[in-house]
Structure 1
């Protein structure tokens, strides 16, 4: 019998602190009108000084477990997508495993920046399809605010913190229909944090982005990967119920929808309230649309993302 991966429950969590565009006007040369016109972002959530990436991941994970009506002990695999782990090691997945009281199952992090959750769910899908796991927890969690230069208006206005999670299990019917992952390190300098461990901390410890170049690449690639997923499954664009895109910029989302002739009413958009939460972006948007009743069981959903590396990918699923 063919085994598929089915989403059993979703969860999301945002820190309490909300930073508005008006707040940013007081610290950087920008304005609410400028930010909204170019990005669609009005607010973003930012962690408190004592709040960690694992704290966010735990809250989202527990909500996903509750939605799935499962206990932590039912989980036999944990994968956390994050660019901002609490420690170099142990992995945030291992820290989360301890928080949830789970012992013995595999737990590891995935680093693909904004495409991280798509990568993580794709990896977990392979575990479940091969019988290596039966019930898994997949989390995207970020404290991106900690790698931002808050005096750089090109990045500080764009990003926020948060976590999203799904619990998935083995099923006899899709579920995850197909996944498509890509990367090209030739574009690494367009979006990066230069300082690291291996290079002795050389360069800035903050995010650097060449915004115009990233925008052009994202619009081109995101339209292409949506078509790739549909063509691989012999589907027409009209058969897609929902697009859940990475929430980077409303103009990128709108451009992708136009390329697909997809009305914005069928696109889940949270960027205005969340900003770009990197690996947490897609699962947060998915969780919100599930919980408010837009995404219904049996509907066809396409998740897609694009991030530093560059990395990009998509997941076609029946919820």
Structure 2
């Protein structure tokens, strides 16, 4: 018997405030055309004053549970990916657990920046395969608007806030690639590239949260190479190639990176789920957000073969192949 971690439900939440590119023109030497041309972003959502990462994660989780037709009593664990927690501790996952009224099981955070959701998904998959849990809420949630330097036009126009969630559940499979569920994962990191994307603050250094810093040109080159490589590796583990893929659901950071990576993996842009134009870069939330929106649009259907891939600070990067 083969156990698979199968997606049973998906949901997301976006803050009410929508910020178009034009809003930055009043304070920065930038324009809607400049932002669109370099990133593909047209607008993004920012959390309201007092609205936290755990608030958004909770609402995304509720939507995923509703979509799955399950209640919190059916869930064994919560694994949440974020780089913008409400507090230094406790974890956002335990805060969501409390908001859901869940008094059983366990909850913890995963931190791999923009690659966080792929790392959380892989962790949840391993726990289900090992029998540690049967149903897990996997969440990505971020309030990156709280760590922006609003004078830096190269970064502050790129990011947004939001949350997405999946319910993964153990089901019996045949062991073949036709099974529904997570089929393979590939995770990587290399601390030599730390300076390419980081936040210049922290508990044991400055004592405050700091601001995001990025070396955009260098990161672009690393991203295309590493994203294509990890996607190909995850596919090769189960004997598949890009030609077998129905949808790539990438980390939504930059449209040029998304297009270049898809071309390297030999998947046409018509088979890539893109939500970047509406959400900006929501870091660990971007893949579950895109999965939820793609499902709502009717793009992602039961039986489709998906590749999700992401890269973030660390550098950390990875991919997973799953059948919806």
TM-score normalised to the size of structure 1? 0.98
The CA deviation string for residues 230-259 of structure 1, in whole angstroms up to 9 with x for no partner, is 111111221110000000000000111111
Counterpart residue number, 1:19: 19
Counterpart residue number, 1:115: 115
Cα RMSD for the two superposed structures = 1.0
Counterpart residue number, 1:278: 283
Contact 2:232 2:241 in 1 (8 A): no
Counterpart residue number, 1:48: 48
Distance 1:190 1:29 in 2: 23
Q: CA deviation at 1:223?
A: 1.1
Q: Which one of the candidate residues 291, 297, 300 is aligned to 2:302?
A: 297
Counterpart residue number, 1:152: 152
Q: Which one of the candidate residues 256, 261, 264 is aligned to 2:266?
A: 261
Counterpart residue number, 1:214: 219
Counterpart residue number, 1:177: 183
Counterpart residue number, 2:199: 193
Aligned length: 318
SS of residue paired to 2:2: coil
Q: CA deviation at 1:199?
A: 1.6
Q: Which one of the candidate residues 213, 237, 247 is aligned to 2:252?
A: 247
Q: Within 5 A, what are the aligned runs for 1:39-118?
A: 39-118=39-118
The CA deviation string for residues 180-210 of structure 1, in whole angstroms up to 9 with x for no partner, is 11011110011100211112438x8100001
Contact 2:117 2:139 in 1 (8 A): yes
Counterpart residue number, 2:316: 311
The CA deviation string for residues 121-172 of structure 1, in whole angstroms up to 9 with x for no partner, is 1001011001110111010000000000111101011000000000110011
Counterpart residue number, 2:166: 166
Counterpart residue number, 2:176: none
SS of residue paired to 1:60: helix
SS of residue paired to 1:3: strand
5+ residue gaps, structure 2: 174-179
User: Segments of 4+ in structure 1 off by > 2 A?
Assistant: none
SS of residue paired to 1:84: coil
Distance 1:7 1:200 in 2: 41
Contact 2:113 2:312 in 1 (8 A): yes
The CA deviation string for residues 284-318 of structure 1, in whole angstroms up to 9 with x for no partner, is 00111111111110110000000001000001001
SS of residue paired to 1:309: coil
SS of residue paired to 1:156: coil
Q: CA deviation at 1:62?
A: 0.3
